[in-house]
Amino acid sequence: MAIEDEVGPHAVKVYKSMKDLAMLSEEKMGTAERITQTARLPKTMVMNALQELQNKGWARRKVREKAAGYYLLK
């Protein structure tokens, strides 16, 4: 099943941005700020899209000291 069938258009844009940035593993995770710059969406939309991706099992959030990191699972 394709991601376009499961999540909204903003989440798809965030997913593609994360894939372009190679955030594919815990070692290569990135911050929401970096994703916001690449996706060219407002930060609240990016945060909502990241939440949607997490709920559907497409991404994971890892809490760190300064900023949380995000990476793709699928």
DSSP character string of 3-67:
HHHHS-HHHHHHHHHHHHTT--SGGG-B-HHHHHHHHTS-HHHHHHHHHHHHHHTSEEEE--SSS
Confidence band (pLDDT; 50, 70, 90) for 2?
confident
Domain 8-72 adopts which CATH fold? Arc Repressor Mutant, subunit A (1.10.10)
Six token digits for residue 46: 């990016």
Whether the pLDDT of residue 10 is over 80: the answer is yes
Average pLDDT over residues 43-68: 95
What residue segments make up the domains of the chain, in order of their start? Answer: 8-72
Distances (CA, A) of 56 to 11, 40, 59, 64, 67: 11, 22, 8, 22, 22
The reported pTM is: 0.91
Whether the CB-CB separation of 54 and 6 falls below 8 Å is answered with: no
Whether the pLDDT of residue 22 is over 80: the answer is yes
Confidence band (pLDDT; 50, 70, 90) for 13?
very high
